[in-house]
Structure 1
Amino acid sequence: MNEVIKKRYEFVILFDVENGNPNGDPDAGNMPRIDPETGHGIVTDVCLKRKIRNYVDVVKQGADGYNIYVREGAILNRQHEKAYIANNIDPKDEKTARAKVKDLTKFMCDNFFDIRAFGAVMTTEVNCGQVRGPVQINFARSIDPIVQQEVTITRMAVTNEKDADKKGNEMGRKHIVPYALYRAEGYISAHLAEKVTGFTEEDLELLWEGLINMFDHDHSAARGKMATRRLIVFEHSSMLGNAPAHKLFESVKVKRIDSSKPVRSYSDYNVIIDRSLLPEGVNLIEKL
């Protein structure tokens, strides 16, 4: 399980939201992100990676090799300093640091799961190099256009005594999507795992767990009900792969059952996998 992965993978993940905001846009008053030309909803790769990081943090509890580099409240230069201490290098000794940057980068890859998976730019004041991770995820896009709703809510309490003389409650707003099913696609490079970060078979299994369970540890009033519905994995028989990724993705189609009414649940869709499109050397695995 600790061996570096030897095969290339791609995957398709389907997840949904009910009466929640899956990924607010701070440039639009935190309304759900949307493609203005098509009306389809968007969830960024950064948002999905954040949830995977949080899941790993919950499961591993800071175990050796499974620290999280980009975490809430983290000061990245202090994370880098751990590599300097481990290699007996003074952070102010830039000449020695440049000479041993590979050792510093290796320490960061060995000790932080998210660097090993997603890579990181660590060329700040305390330089630990830069790595491109083997795991990359596209923006998720909703299957159908979404409806952004702004719902007015009330709080039966006021903030201070001055407000109490004027009113008996506070008004607020929540931004929700009544229902949407999203699709994201991802890539895992065995070449980058071997040559750069050392992403292992154990890391891979943890990634699959994270993709399946990430929403169960991320519930909040703002996000409503979110869940991973399907995780479909394409496993190649070699490191370089046996087919173009886009051809594999085309074998998974999501169809709306009844277009005459708005969708309000996962059962309003059919997920169709055309296995006849799979070339020799590619194994399709339904993780969920």
Structure 2
Amino acid sequence: MNSTIKNRSEILFLYDVSFANPNGDPVDENKPRIDEETGINIVTDVRLKRTIRDYLAEYKGKDVFILETRDKDGKLRTKDDRISDFGSNEDIIEKCIDVRLFGATTAVKDKTMTLTGPVQFGYGRSLHKVNMTYIKGTTVMPSQSGNNQGTFTEKYILPYSLISFYGIVNENAAKNQNIPLTDEDIDLMLEAMWNGTKNLMSNSKMGHMPRFLLQVVMKEKNYQIGELNKRIKFVHDVEDEELRDIKDGKIEIKELVESLNANKDKISAVRYVADERVVFSLNGDVCDIDDVLKGFSVEKLSF
């Protein structure tokens, strides 16, 4: 059996959406979440975790605790039902990859579990202002008996949003809570972030694409660089609201590379995958990400 993770690591994940809703707000007509002060698109960590959970359950056949399931009559099953599927708290932790990754809080009958997940993500934020668009349409089928024509449909989308997420894998949280999180679990999570984003194919989510995923594995204990998402920029010549494609700009990585180089003696490995359509720049000049990272122990991820 694989051993519990020993190293802390940091994760930077970029993906974009085209004419889709990356994360609707259910108390505001399911509109995309936008910071009113800055015009920046916001995506909750819960949305990203759902992408990961769904992929692990549906495509990798992994046991996932926080998952929508229904009984034979089509009714949603409760948390109590899910606990009964797995048994004791120890069984849930051992069997369910999402609990090992993100922790869980349960208080059902005589079973209480409070675990802080070793993997934590902040909110995702777009690297530019966004422009919310309202779309109205029609359906061919009447909404109820007696109507002679179809009804109107409406939804809110973003023509484009390039979103960055930052996360930390905390080895101490795993060790101190006896959570058997393994490097294999982390690898599966990274795969789920990349391929799970591609597999968001509902009506509101069609149009998602992963663009860049970076894991910086530390060898220095209790140390991280921090805020990797704030060390990149999306540089472009058009107005923010006119952006429509990843090719409309370049990912400027000067500050990110400077931070990596300044911490080279504390870094064990750099692991990454980049979409072929992404253009990176270093101090304004187009660069090859492979060349930029040559000085590190590098692993190119392949999913």
* 2:41 aligned residue: 41
What is the letter of the counterpart of residue 83 of structure 2? H
Q: Which TM-score applies when normalising by structure 2?
A: 0.80
Distance of 2:185 and 2:221 partners within structure 1: 17
Decide whether the 8 Å contact of 2:165 with 2:229 is kept in 1.
Answer: no
What secondary structure is seen at the aligned counterpart in 2 of 1:7? coil
SS in 1 for 2:162: strand
Equivalent position of 2:93 in the other structure: 109
Higher helix share: 1
Who is 2:31 aligned against? 31
The code of the aligned residue for 1:116 comes to R
Q: Which residue of 2 aligns with 1:284?
A: 270
Q: CA RMSD for the aligned pairs?
A: 1.9
Secondary structure, aligned partner of 2:212: strand
Distance in structure 1 (CA, Å) of the matches to 2:168 and 2:237: 32
Partner of residue 77, structure 1 = 80
Give, in whole Å, the separation in 1 of the partners of 2:184 and 2:4. 9
Aligned to 2:50: 50
Q: Does 1:256 align with 2:238?
A: no
Answer whether contact 1:254 1:269 (CA < 8 A) is retained: no
Map of 1:185-224 to 2, 5 A cutoff? 185-196=166-177, 197-224=179-206
Q: Distance in 1 between matches of 2:23 and 2:86?
A: 34
8 Å CA contact retained: 2:3, 2:182: yes
Matching residue within 239, 243, 247 for 1:267:
247
Look up the match of 1:6: 6
Q: Which residue of 2 aligns with 1:174?
A: 155
Q: Give 5+ residue unaligned stretches, structure 1.
A: 85-103
Match of 2:211 among 199, 214, 229: 229
Bigger-Rg structure (1/2)? 1
Report the Cα distance in structure 1 between the residues aligned to 2:225 and 2:200, rounded to whole angstroms.
33
Residue 287 of structure 2: aligned partner:
none
In the alignment, the residues of structure 2 paired with residue 201 and residue 113 of structure 1 have an alpha-carbon distance, to the nearest angstrom, of: 12
Secondary structure (helix, strand or coil) at the match of 1:6 reads coil
1:81-139 residue CA offsets vs partner (Å, 9 max, x unmatched):
3554xxxxxxxxxxxxxxxxxxx432221011110000000223241421111011111
1:140 and 1:28 map into 2 onto residues whose CA distance is: 19
1:18 aligns with 2:6: no
TM-score where L is the length of structure 1 = 0.84
C-alpha contact 2:10 2:168 (8 A) present in aligned 1: yes
CA distance in 2, matches of 1:170, 1:210: 37
Task: Give the Å deviation of 1:23.
Answer: 0.7
Cα contact 1:6–1:239 (8 A) shared by 2: no
More divergent stretch after superposition (132-141 vs 122-131):
122-131
Measured in 1, the distance between the counterparts of 2:176 and 2:273 equals 27
Task: Give the match for residue 120 of structure 2.
Answer: 136
Tell me, in whole angstroms, the C-alpha distance in 1 between the residues paired with 2:229 and 2:133: 31
Runs of 4+ in 1 over 4 A off after TM superposition: none
- Report the Cα distance in structure 2 between the residues aligned to 1:230 and 1:110, rounded to whole angstroms: 31
The offset of 1:172, in angstroms, is: 1.3
